[in-house]
Amino acid sequence: MNRKRYLNPGEMFFGANCQVETLLGSCVAITLWFPNVAKGGMCHFVLAERQRDLNLHSRDLDGRYGREAWLWLRQQSLAHGLAIEEAQIKLFGGSKVLPLAETGLGMDVGQRNIALANCCLREAGLQASPGDVGGSGHRRVRFDLHTGDVWVRRGATLDRSPFQEAS
């Protein structure tokens, strides 16, 4: 039987024979799966990136930031002797979870997270397979590292109406 692992925001996992699950809103999950060895990984990042020289801090990565989570996944691939070019890569999340009016600041957090993930892949000469990004509402994602299968269950956008007093 497979082990199960739940990823909270900012957490990352790499291994085999495990089901990894997370809940996403504007956050993004990147999944990597290496079919020849039935291993892979998943990260759940909250924000695209922060101002930090990753060449100086590559051993002290923070999974809350997409660029750092992506670097960690690449490092894990190398540590397991796997070529990142052989991975099946998928992206999930990056949705609007609150029906808020546009702020005039450009892209929302979810859009920025999706753009960063795609940018990291382009910089590495890679492209994601179809996943499930954008839109509205939340997603529950389950990734089976034995088979490479990914299941997504979508939920509704949060209601903006004020809380009602319980009777």
Do 78 and 87 form a contact (C-beta atoms < 8 A)?
no
Mean pLDDT of 21-27: 96
Write down all domains in the chain, each with its CATH number in brackets: 3-154 (3.30.1330.200)
Q: What pLDDT digit, counting tens, does each position of 43-86 carry?
A: 999 999 887 665 655 567 889 999 999 999 999 999 999 999 99
Q: What is the pLDDT of residue 96?
A: 87
Looking at the DSSP assignment, which residues form a beta bridge with residue 49? Answer: none
Which of the four pLDDT bands, split at 50, 70 and 90, describes residue 165?
very low
pTM of the model: 0.86
- Can you list the alpha helix ranges (DSSP code H) found in the chain? 66-79, 109-123
Q: Strands across the sheet with 39-45, in order?
A: 12-16, 39-45, 28-34, 88-93, 129-133
Q: What pLDDT digit, counting tens, does each position of 83-110 carry?
A: 999 999 999 999 987 655 555 555 689 9
Looking at the DSSP assignment, which residues form a beta bridge with residue 102? Answer: none
